[in-house]
Amino acid sequence: MKYVILAFIGLVVAPLAGGLLAGIDRRITARLQSRQGPPIRQALYDVLKLFGKEGLALNKWQIICAWVYLIAAALACTLFFLQSDLLLIFFVQAVGAVFLVMGAMAGRSPYSQVGAQRELIQVLTYEPLLVLVFVCMYLAAGSFNISDILAVESPLLAQLPLAYIVLTYILTIKLRKSPFDFSTSHHGHQELVKGVLTEYSGPYLALTEVAHWYETVLLLGVCALFWTTNWLWMAVLLMATYFLELVIDNTMARMTWRWMLKYVWGIGLAMSVVNLIWLYAG
């Protein structure tokens, strides 16, 4: 019964929470820009409206890619709530990220093509760092298994402060926030229109949005593993991290992909290695 409840949370509750979080994101962003902003549930209404539209796609491959992206994101999120292995979760979500790129490549629009190339660069940027963060967590907890990480008696944040900063870089890229919103963005200043999602419409666009909600909850769940000894402090850590992401998104201009690759790899890899040496030295 325990695993059934956890699977239900991962499959059903997580995307609803992600949709509400997207609504909160829009509302806070609007307030930071001196606007009223939409209702918090507006993101859920938008997706339901998309599901009610006629399904149109350029080819069947695009539809397959949208479904694989959603299934991979949902499976990775469910595995996380089932307290599975972090490396298994990593490979499952990586499959979804690859199929999102392939779906964009299937489109004829130059915006979709360029968006796919940028999305692929983003994947190649954050995936190695995510592996290093998981390695740091393994050295601190002695296992890649989430249930073992939850059993650690002291917060991982005390041992892995630099790894957590690296994780926030990854979160910024995955949330598609400035300065790393290269492949697609909710903002009107994105010169690629919707970039990697340009050729998606109707229910297939809704599938990608729900998958993004799954990924958001998954990454915030990984952030939560850094403070599992106290639920209150875990909540404070998550709220502070997400609010910082919104502040960065509204105060920084979008940079080039070359700057992202040099900055994130340069600083991210350096901090990860330093934290690994710190753990190894004891």
Residue in the block written with tokens 């599992």: 228
Give mean pLDDT, residues 248-273: 88
Give mean pLDDT, residues 270-279: 92
Are 85 and 93 a contacting pair, CB within 8 Å? no
Are 137 and 225 a contacting pair, CB within 8 Å? yes
The reported pLDDT for the residue numbered 86 is 96
Out of 16-25, 178-187, 210-219, which region has the weakest mean confidence (pLDDT)? 178-187
The reported pLDDT for the residue numbered 282 is 66
The reported pLDDT for the residue numbered 186 is 62
Give mean pLDDT, residues 252-267: 86
Give mean pLDDT, residues 247-258: 84
Confidence of residue 193 (pLDDT cuts 50, 70, 90): low
Closest CA to 73 of 210, 238, 186: 210
Q: Is the pLDDT of residue 162 over 80?
A: yes
CA distance 91 to 97: 10
Q: Is the pLDDT of residue 192 over 70?
A: no
**pLDDT tens column, 79-107:** 999 999 999 999 999 999 999 999 988 87
CA distance 155 to 229: 6
The reported pLDDT for the residue numbered 188 is 52
Q: Is the pLDDT of residue 187 over 70?
A: no
Q: Is the pLDDT of residue 253 over 60?
A: yes
pTM of the model as a whole: 0.94
Q: Is the pLDDT of residue 212 over 70?
A: yes
Percentage of residues in the chain with pLDDT exceeding 90? 66
- The three-state secondary structure class of 145 is strand
Q: Is the pLDDT of residue 189 over 70?
A: no
The reported pLDDT for the residue numbered 158 is 93
The reported pLDDT for the residue numbered 199 is 84
The reported pLDDT for the residue numbered 185 is 67
The reported pLDDT for the residue numbered 191 is 55
CA distance 77 to 179: 26
CA distance 205 to 200: 5
The reported pLDDT for the residue numbered 141 is 93
Give mean pLDDT, residues 17-41: 91
Of 255 and 275, the structure prediction assigns the larger pLDDT to 275
Q: Is the pLDDT of residue 177 over 80?
A: yes
Give mean pLDDT, residues 41-53: 94
